[in-house]
Amino acid sequence: MLRYVIGIVAGFTGAGVVWVGLFLASFGILDTHGDRTVTAWYQIKQEVAGTKSGAKKIVFVGGSNVLYGISAAEVEQAFGMPCLNFGTHAGLPFDYLLHRVKQVVSPGDILVISLEWEYLHRPLDDLNSVYTGCILGGEPRYFWRLPASQQLRICFSAPVSRLVLPLTISPEASAGVQNVYMDSVRGVHIDSWGDFMGNFPERRAKSELARLLGLTPHPCTLAEAEGHSDFWKVVRELRNWAKRKRVTVVFAAPALLDNPILTGADYRQIFAAGEKHYESLGIPVIARQNTNFYGESLMFDSVYHLNSAGREIRTKQLIEGLKPVVSRGSTPK
């Protein structure tokens, strides 16, 4: 019986060692289309930021509502100051978005956060394959900054398909593939302002759009919007960081589909409460949700994604909202 017990311990430990070993060996290797795409967006946007360093700039950060729905090029033209669209993917935690954007923001910059409402509802340590794939493949440094509990979660929740990667491809070979992929994205999907280039109205798949628009999102509850969500801790940390770095932070509501549920009284109450809470934290709201609903003809492929026609309208609104902020050039209260 003792041998059996020793066998259990040995099997458990051996499996654990193999698992952790393969996990660590998979660092620096990008796997899925999602990992590669989001990492390529960040790599290109980081390059774009490099070309805009030196002068004060406006940086838009958020999920794909920013990527699809804001034209940094037009904002740059309107204000004559460098602009950068740093929107990527709403599946990434807000803390990670900030980790990435802090690398490109300098004192005096204006940071416009436009976050999908789901952020208020999602736990801070929520994991998904794109996020873990992105940090392990593209930003392993971020992994080591996380609390040990989250590191363990990421390690043990890694799919087997990720663990076998080191057996099939080296980090160098993966980086080579990524460079080729990035070249196919740069100037084709993402332009020199970080804006998305492919969301023309005529390119949308109507049946797919109809299906996606039929899914009603449950962004968050009223209590979460009023402050009872861990999300606000990250917002407070951002506010404090911005004060120290003399960065102006403002909030712009995301673009949303104009449908009866989302524009109904319950949802409006939630959105208004969220905006009020941003303001109570000293973050001005430059675009409110009730002026940011768009008809189906202006959407691209989801309730948050505008097409280029919708983007033009939203960007004009944002320019109006940004005017006092740009002229003031102030730090947050």
Partner 1 sequence: MLFHSPIFLFAFLPLTWVVFRVLAGRHCERLALGWLVAMSLVFYAYWNPVYVTLIVISIAVNFSIGTRIAPDDSRLGLRSRCWLLYAGLAFNLGLLGYFKYANFFLDSMRGITGWSYNLQHVILPLGISFFTFQKIAYLVDAYQGRTGKYTLLEYCFFVTFFPQLIAGPIVQHHQIIPQLERRETFRFRLLDVWVGLSIFAVGLFKKMVLADGSAVYVAPVFDAAAAGQGISAPDAWAGALAYTFQLYFDFSGYSDMAVGLARMFGFLLPINFNAPYRATSISEFWKRWHITLSRFLRNFLYIPLGGNRRGMLLRYRNLLVTMLLGGLWHGAGWTFLLWGGLHGIYLIINHAWDSVSSRWLPMAFVHSRPMRFLGWAVTFGCVVAAWVFFRAANWTAATEILHAMGGQTMASGLAFYITDVPWLWLIAMAVVAFGFPATHDYFWRYTPALDPPRRRSRFARMAWRPTFVHGAALGVLVFLIFRKYFVLQPTEFLYFNF
Binding site for partner 1 (CB under 8 A): 1, 3-16, 19, 32-33, 127, 152-153, 155-157, 159, 161, 207-208, 211, 214-215
Q: Are 311 and 317 in contact (CB under 8 A)?
A: no
Q: How far apart are CA 132 and CA 296, in angstroms?
A: 33
d(CA 64, CA 90): 6
Per-residue tokens: 118: 């789901």
Q: Which residue has the tokens 């208020």?
A: 120
Compute the distance between CA of residue 98 and CA of residue 230 in angstroms, rounded to an integer.
15
Q: Left if phi > 0, otherwise alpha if psi is -120 to 50, otherwise beta: which for 239?
A: alpha
Q: Which residues, in sequence order, are CB contacts of 22 under 8 Å at separation 6+?
A: 163, 164, 166, 167
User: Taking a C-beta distance cutoff of 8 angstroms, is the pair 232, 240 a contact?
Assistant: no
